[in-house]
Amino acid sequence: MKLLGIAGTVIGAKTSIVVQSVLDEVKKTAPEIEVELLDLREHRMSLCDGRDPATYTDDTKKVIDKVSSADFYLFGTPIFQGSMTGALKNLFDHIQPQVLRHKVMGFVANGGTYQHYLVIENQLKPIAGFFRAYVAPGSVYVHADHFNSQNEITDEDVLRRINELARELVHMQKALKPAGETISLNR
């Protein structure tokens, strides 16, 4: 079973730190689960234009294949202008709906104001609905004040929520798709 954590931005480190923190908690909770961080800062992706992914000359096909091969997901984004990043939206545009259908996903976000926590509820969870994915009930929003000067998360409540989200993801994945069992919901 593989959990893919996706840091959906091409700038800044905080999103990757939050996503990696959840992945680390998953490893503590369920060491048998393979975790991987897909940091979009490390990949060049073309804007989605509807063509065959094999025709892109950058990392687009590689990223699509990595997302397609995971069993469940943790998506992270900073909040810019009251919305997710264009990089994350572009990734969603590249993914065929059947890839994420009936898969578990969770969300984390970070921002510079406390008002942007609702982006998870108002933008990210509806996208999961479009993909017909199962969404962890909890999420984590981290404000710049929750980090120290070394970019470490220091807020105890945020650390507790990171732990809870990790446990929710593992619980949902194991309950919905037990190891070795293939579930086909296509009719």
Q: pLDDT for 43-69, tens place per residue? A: 999 999 999 999 999 999 999 999 999
Q: Which two tokens stand for residue 109?
A: 């976000």
Average pLDDT over residues 160-179: 93
Percentage of residues in the chain with pLDDT exceeding 90?
91
Q: pLDDT value at position 57?
A: 92
Average pLDDT over residues 152-156: 96
Whether the per-residue pLDDT at 5 is higher than 50: the answer is yes
- The pLDDT confidence band at residue 170, using thresholds 50, 70 and 90, is very high
- The pLDDT confidence band at residue 115, using thresholds 50, 70 and 90, is confident
- The pLDDT confidence band at residue 187, using thresholds 50, 70 and 90, is very low
Q: pLDDT value at position 35?
A: 98
Residue for token pair 């990734």:
91
Q: pLDDT value at position 177?
A: 82
- The pLDDT confidence band at residue 182, using thresholds 50, 70 and 90, is low
- The pLDDT confidence band at residue 114, using thresholds 50, 70 and 90, is confident
Average pLDDT over residues 76-93: 96
